[in-house]
Copies of this chain bind each other. A is one copy, B any other.
Amino acid sequence: MATMDAAAMSRRNDTSRPGEFELIARYFAPLAGEGAFNLLDDAALVSVTPGKSLAMTQDAIMAGVHFFPDDPPHTIAMKALRVNLSDLASKGATPKAFSLALGLHPDWTEAWVAEFAKGLADDCDAYGLSLSGGDTFLAPGGPVISITAWGEIDAANYKSRLGARPGDRLFVTGTIGNAALGLMIRRNDQRLVNLDGAAILYSLYLAPRPPVSFAPIIASHASASMDISDGFIGDLEKMARASDVDFEVSALKVPLSPQVRDAVGKHPELIHAALTGGDDYQCLFTVPPQRMDAFMADIASQSVQVTEVGIARPGDGKVGVAELSGNSIGSGKTSYSHF
């Protein structure tokens, strides 16, 4: 509902914190867009351009599971939103608006909410989004944030993870493993805490940077696409199973940031964490051979890093990874590949 209706909020007799309506009016109503009734109504009226469909996704993040309770509220908001934006980008959809269910810890402070809302506001500006509505409530064990985001798309251009065919080339956006190593830094891994790029890796754990601007290229050229949220290898296996193909991947081709490359250079075993850890929020997609020329022409004029990492083969859902040593390693049984 567009009213962020937080009865439980106002039932607490805490005069040092704003009530639900003040909270919404002060921090969230400024983010409201068309059809959101300034967050005063029970729902939102979502208009859709004639001939278009919506790509819609809902992803939640929870304190102690997806982020640390003392992470900066600003980046918690960004992570909560961006884990949805990566889903939309991978479908070929440009995000338009979102709704927010915000479960606040019983000891929430106005400062926390202000910083959280600032994070959302910054991303609304950066990505051209508006808030359509939602809900606030008290969440013991929270904060917990559930966002539903959507964007318009031509139905024929929606790209699921089911469409890869043998011979299709496999690509990934951005670089892989930054957040996995960032989380290890947060956990004080002694191999990493003194790395030159530790702060950069940690910042990418706090707030991913999904390739939102890349959506039109996926819409135009991909045969299958998904975001990488649970680890590169594991998610590639999901695409292999969903599309009923095998993938051959060269680990040497998987794009790594200078920071991850540095870490792996010093501690080679970290490549496993980079390729199987989660929170990349990049796009993994396939391009049919006959689309390659047009695809290559299109990516030449945009800024998202794109790397070819493998190829689809006839099969039944397995992933073979040629490791750094050059050995091919089969997988397919577990949620990620064992090296």
What is A's interface to B at a CB cutoff of 8 Å?
1-3, 5, 7-8, 10, 19-20, 35, 37, 40-48, 50-66, 84, 87-88, 90-91, 93, 99-101, 103, 132-135, 137-142, 144, 146, 148, 150, 153, 155, 158, 160-162, 226-227, 229-230, 238, 242, 278, 335
Chain B positions within 8 Å of A91 at CB level: 41-43, 45
> Is the pair B141, A140 in contact by a Cβ cutoff of 8 Å?
yes
A141 to B137, CA, bound (A): 13
Minimum distance in angstroms from A316 CB to a CB of chain B: 15
Query: Among B47, B64, B153, B335, which residue has its beta carbon within 8 angstroms of that of A53?
Result: B47
> Is the pair A57, B37 in contact by a Cβ cutoff of 8 Å?
no
Please list 25 pairs of residues, one from A and one from B, whose beta carbons are closer than 8 Å in the complex, sorted by A's number: A1-B58, A1-B59, A3-B238, A7-B278, A8-B65, A35-B53, A42-B87, A43-B57, A43-B93, A45-B53, A45-B158, A46-B53, A48-B54, A56-B133, A60-B101, A60-B135, A62-B137, A63-B140, A64-B140, A65-B138, A65-B139, A66-B137, A99-B148, A135-B146, A148-B148
* Count of this chain's copies in the oligomeric assembly: 2
Minimum distance in angstroms from A321 CB to a CB of chain B: 20
> Is the pair B46, A162 in contact by a Cβ cutoff of 8 Å?
no
A5 to B133, CA, bound (A): 24
> Is the pair A103, B58 in contact by a Cβ cutoff of 8 Å?
no
A184 to B187, CA, bound (A): 46
Minimum distance in angstroms from A242 CB to a CB of chain B: 5
> Is the pair B50, A44 in contact by a Cβ cutoff of 8 Å?
no
Minimum distance in angstroms from A279 CB to a CB of chain B: 9
Chain B positions within 8 Å of A59 at CB level: 1, 5, 101, 135
CB nearest neighbor in B for A84:
B1
